[in-house]
Chains A and B, each alone.
Chain A
């Protein structure tokens, strides 16, 4: 007997109602769909099987039992063999993919609490390497399959079909899908901009059904690293180290602060130098903050005998929060989504923060059956003051340089204390440095989006046109204060202001042809694309302000020198696009793409480039001979591809021309002897190269995709090799050519090869407990193959050394560390004498030393070439900041209404050059804060089992003068990046206040990091040709967050 059966269909994990799920009775072609609340009603009888299906979910069978008329049906997301993936200019069934495309799990990814999607990518996609920083808004380094060029290695982002070079204003909560095109067969349809890989993002739109409102909010607290992060000594030990160094150097034991005699004593006051309380004339205290040289100046600074913890003076716990609200919905003919977000992360360091507001409005309309139009529009407003990172001159750098005996403020607490005084060094007070930026303000605004129209015509054709782009502007102003507390004071003050705008647009027109007949499936795409980018910037600086009041200072109110600048730029691309995909019998897949790009960056003769790619796939699992494996092997596909991706970004539009320019600082000259005014001069500033052309990245990829055990396990493995040729490089000219900017020429080459692996598994352990696990593994090996004729290396980044630390050298990977390898210490005079004698035999000169500045307790360098003497030829590659591999591991568990997810990220086999140790571990590396290593682990005649060289008064080649292996450390780490425990209120409760879903969660990020690295944080960025040098990182902080997801 038929009776009315009712029920609710919902997602078993999110508890959200599923709208429009099909509910059928097995064997009956009729049926119904669930309504806006996920509810259904159907006529059935006992013993019938209800079959509930929903796209993306495993079908659910429910037997109708006697006496039960209402069924709660929880559906689990299924493994989608028929999943559709967004690729260049279209979509493809995942099963038909022949290129290497990583599809992100957006939900997991955006759970990482940062504002920038690029940050969140870390560890989430195989083949993508991301280096982040703890600083809010700091642009992460995103690299797809290694480093492809000496220039710009940023991937191309394509958001809703509009290419852009930056997604830092994109609200992560607005993302519907994200895929990374890694190889030529997937990416080279983006031609001239594909070489660094392409990341395709689509943003959310509304769905047919009732209006849905979602609120996602979190609030959290960020806690900086605790403890003595750089191992800085207490003041008395700083003094003891000075005594040790003076003794080792045969110098008298005497210091204006520490007194003289066999042991140093800490003074009560460091200003006046080394004074006791009686010696200070408190009535004379006078500071003129505008003029350090005011003759009345009398500084009184009490020594901080316990030591100032400078790191924690500038780094403190800080709050962060994020709020997102979206409203979406639609009907048969239109859908819409409006979302707004507010993100506010205060930096743990003084005066750093990120505040961002975004607003999005997406909509789509069907006009009749064959015409669709729509738009995506995003507005953003960003306020993001940052500090310099990895720089000895930033507040972070100063925090490890400044002596701990110096307090933050002077005796009366009114003015800053600093290094003014005897023997206090020349570092800046990091608190003063950071606080003086408080009136520096700026913001940027951006409108990004597109409008599009699609028309189906004839039978199998679709025409699509989209015009979109970005309109952005920003402004910034800052004030540079004079200083009075330093040993080296800045006497001038100045105000700077600048403003910029950028407009770019892309107009894309494509025609798609689709044909499915019998066993053939054919898709053809043809299109054109035009891109134009232009902008200007203007700015100025004025010196000498009567008042520093921010309401007074502007470019006009200063009394002193005024300077200004402005510039503009413009570039364009025009492209033809084509792609053919053909599948035979769902087993054999071939695909080809071709793009021809014209770029304004090149002179006429090389303006156009053609970028082809071909690929093929074979779904072995569909073969009849595999029929027997069906019980465990759901899908297996082998695929391979080859193609060329281009790069045009590393060249300026003026590269083709020899030009002359003038600059006040450089070509102007006081020819009249006026002492105060300059005459205009010119010089050749650029040597042109009209022959420059595209960089081409020739890429081969082979891989397989497998799905096993009914989709409970799947994996993707790829091996790739990229030969980057005609790499644009500006080889340094012989000095005899002058110092004009050398032309960029297509001369260098490099290779990258590696393996990307994704593996995932999911299942139910019990009916209440389900799990999912996924692993991404990324590796690349980079090798520079050639640089230029006669140039087989170029150095970068000398910092305080006489030689560069980095050598980009043929045969090695990019950004390798280079220098002398330490093989021990010179322990005895006899040992030194023996080495010198040998060296003297080699050179025939009785003055020869085996090693410059050889001496007891100093480093002994390795004689790499065995010629008996240390020369520059004995330098070698000491390490490599490129990791052997990195990996991300995501573990998810669901137990009844609880969900737990844990995400680990690790990097293995990279080296860090810990430059901080140059400052802290060597007494003569400037007067400043030193580490316990310097005092307790340095070589002395009684401690030959030392870590660091003898502490002396002066530096030299054999201690701190040249880059050597002392600074190298293993940078591998394993980090618990993200742990989330969530609880979803049962549907029957939430329904009472008409909510469809309410989840609350607790989250901890960066809870622990396992590493041998002794520095503050092993995640060290830098430029691609020079990274991995730790000169003071803005460390990642622990974050503890409470969040809520609520929808109606």
Chain B
């Protein structure tokens, strides 16, 4: 261990900053593995109806109540998330404190380190805000860490990104660092969460016009949708800010190898069969013959599944039209699974009757990259596949949302079509060995003008669901749109016909939009006999 004065150099301050990046994965902070996964697979995707916990009923019982919106404040997963985020904040604060003591440093370097630290602090607080809503603010000047959680911290989060923007360079020294555009994008995201469309609009337009990646490459969509989940193409034009993962990096384990997703691989082929996509998500990818999505009634055109069919019994694939993004998002029987052979169905599923027939896919490595993108250093797989906190597709679809709310529906349609255009690239369809498409992929752009704002809004939101399925965003989107209550209760109704344990679950409006403040933290906030932290509504 070192003392603070040894670190008070430019190198030391940058090392503390790297430490602050090192907390992005949430791992090895004494606060759980998957409970703090950077991709929020539990809180963003499962709670948002993209997926089920998976595995079998007794495994990881803390997730069951989260999926049923019954989690209580003593559930340790929330405490883990809280601690991991504040550890990230603490590292940013240490960086800023020590940076203040560094004398021999150029102004540029000082501004850069400060900007990155503020960006990261903004990120950690953003996570806390959308998770818990009411959280205390701790920065490098806070002496007593027992602060109340009664002040809305949106203004402070905005401030982090604004100051970061002002200090960060456009082109960074390393691909994984936050640059000026990333700060601008995160500020726009902050506005989107507050429905500050007018403030977001110019930022998003500027980013679309002239945003660049940390390496200085202009923002743009990757030509193939699947390239976003392929480490070969990471930190490309679509990557605005990503959590960098590495495999076989000498650390002797998978702590830096997307450990938070380690459970989320098909079972028996690997461990542990968690994070199984929902019927609802799969059915959402059903298109009309023309290649357009069904918006409200997609469950009436269900995708054929192999529930209840053993792997050695015959099964014929659905031959109806499907959005090709389905087969990069969901592993399902009979579809090639990233070079590991065709998904065999039940054989890769731990308990089909419990959590359905599907497997996750975006976090799984390609067989051809096993040598370098897969880390066998633990009892479950590690991978080098980055998690995209913001990718350029986010910016485009936020811009579409903004246009629907305060701009032109035509412009909104244009943005959505950019996304759909890319999805329709036939070179990127899941292919069989003979080069044929694995399923009947039909996806097209919206060519008819949109006339009704309500429908347009629905289309844009649905496009986000399709584009970002299983990427940890859905729950938070539903909440910021204010539709979580209706959408999720409808989801429970339809999904519980097949996933029996969802029966009787209810999303309670006014409560389940936010997770409870961890009871442990309320207890630990006690000062003179009284807790400083207040519980969120509905959890007392």
Chain A interface residues toward B at CB < 8 A: 246, 249-252, 254, 256, 273, 293, 420-422, 426, 487-488, 490-492, 541, 543, 560-563, 654, 657-686, 732-740, 789-791, 798, 800-803, 845, 847, 852-853, 871-872, 922, 924-927, 953-957, 960-961
Min C-beta distance of A952 to chain B, whole Å: 8
Residue on A nearest B259 in the bound complex, by CB = A665
Distance A675 CA – B234 CA, assembled complex (angstroms): 9
Q: At the interface, yes or no: B83 with Cβ under 8 Å from chain A?
A: yes
Distance A422 CA – B65 CA, assembled complex (angstroms): 27
A/B interface sample: 11 pairs, CB < 8 A:
A426-B272, A490-B379, A659-B2, A669-B244, A676-B248, A681-B16, A684-B90, A736-B136, A845-B508, A871-B72, A872-B73
Contact flag A674-B246 (CB < 8 Å), given A663-B28, A669-B22, A684-B90: yes
Which B residues touch A927, using CB under 8 A?
56, 351
Contact flag A251-B500 (CB < 8 Å), given A738-B86, A954-B64: yes
Q: At the interface, yes or no: B435 with Cβ under 8 Å from chain A?
A: no
Q: B228-253 toward A: CB 8 Å interface, digit per residue (1/0)? A: 00010011000000001111111111
Q: Which of B7, B384, B526 contacts A676 (CB 8 A)?
A: B384
Distance A660 CA – B29 CA, assembled complex (angstroms): 14
Q: Which of A673, A800, A852 contacts B70 (CB 8 A)?
A: A852
- Decide if B94 touches A252 in the complex (CB within 8 Å): no
Min C-beta distance of A559 to chain B, whole Å: 12
B317-325, B425-433, B458-466, B516-524: which lies at the interface = B516-524
Which A residues touch B28, using CB under 8 A?
663, 665-666
Which of A420, A738, A790 has most chain B Cβ within 10 Å?
A738
- Decide if A662 touches B19 in the complex (CB within 8 Å): yes
- Decide if A256 touches B61 in the complex (CB within 8 Å): no
B74-82, B162-170, B287-295: which lies at the interface = B74-82
- Decide if B89 touches A738 in the complex (CB within 8 Å): yes
Contact flag A666-B16 (CB < 8 Å), given A252-B353, A852-B70: no
Min C-beta distance of B78 to chain A, whole Å: 10
Q: Which of A256, A662, A798 contacts B310 (CB 8 A)?
A: A256
Which B residues touch A541, using CB under 8 A?
252
Q: Which of A254, A661, A679, A872 contacts B74 (CB 8 A)?
A: A872
Q: Which of B15, B353, B380 contacts A680 (CB 8 A)?
A: B15
- Decide if B18 touches A669 in the complex (CB within 8 Å): yes
- Decide if A660 touches B86 in the complex (CB within 8 Å): no
- Decide if B61 touches A803 in the complex (CB within 8 Å): no
Which of A273, A662, A681 has most chain B Cβ within 10 Å?
A681
Q: At the interface, yes or no: B31 with Cβ under 8 Å from chain A?
A: yes
Min C-beta distance of B210 to chain A, whole Å: 22
- Decide if A677 touches B246 in the complex (CB within 8 Å): yes
Contact flag A658-B16 (CB < 8 Å), given A669-B176, A735-B524, A800-B58: no
Q: At the interface, yes or no: B111 with Cβ under 8 Å from chain A?
A: no
Which A residues touch B244, using CB under 8 A?
669-671, 673
Contact flag A686-B1 (CB < 8 Å), given A676-B246, A681-B18: yes
Q: Which of B16, B27, B145 contacts A665 (CB 8 A)?
A: B27
- Decide if B249 touches A676 in the complex (CB within 8 Å): yes
Contact flag A736-B138 (CB < 8 Å), given A669-B176, A790-B523, A955-B61: yes
Residue on B nearest A798 in the bound complex, by CB = B76
Closest 9 CB pairs of A and B: A738-B90, A790-B526, A954-B57, A681-B18, A659-B1, A681-B19, A664-B251, A665-B255, A670-B246
Which B residues touch A791, using CB under 8 A?
523-524, 526
Q: At the interface, yes or no: B103 with Cβ under 8 Å from chain A?
A: no
Distance A120 CA – B506 CA, assembled complex (angstroms): 59
Q: Which of B3, B16, B272 contacts A683 (CB 8 A)?
A: B16
Which A residues touch B440, using CB under 8 A?
none
Distance A679 CA – B19 CA, assembled complex (angstroms): 9
Distance A712 CA – B147 CA, assembled complex (angstroms): 70
Min C-beta distance of B499 to chain A, whole Å: 11
Contact flag A254-B271 (CB < 8 Å), given A658-B4, A667-B19, A735-B521: no
Contact flag A739-B1 (CB < 8 Å), given A420-B268, A847-B506, A955-B58: no
5 additional A-B pairs beyond A676-B248, A739-B86, beta carbons within 8 Å, are: A672-B175, A789-B526, A791-B526, A847-B508, A852-B72
Contact flag A670-B245 (CB < 8 Å), given A683-B94, A735-B86, A872-B74: yes
Residue on B nearest A654 in the bound complex, by CB = B1
Q: At the interface, yes or no: B155 with Cβ under 8 Å from chain A?
A: no
- Decide if A682 touches B12 in the complex (CB within 8 Å): yes
Q: B363-380 toward A: CB 8 Å interface, digit per residue (1/0)? A: 000000000110011011
Min C-beta distance of A489 to chain B, whole Å: 8
- Decide if B523 touches A249 in the complex (CB within 8 Å): no
Distance A961 CA – B65 CA, assembled complex (angstroms): 10
- Decide if B16 touches A954 in the complex (CB within 8 Å): no
Min C-beta distance of B423 to chain A, whole Å: 25
Q: Which of A657, A737, A922 contacts B90 (CB 8 A)?
A: A737
Distance A421 CA – B74 CA, assembled complex (angstroms): 36
Residue on B nearest A927 in the bound complex, by CB = B56
Residue on A nearest B56 in the bound complex, by CB = A927
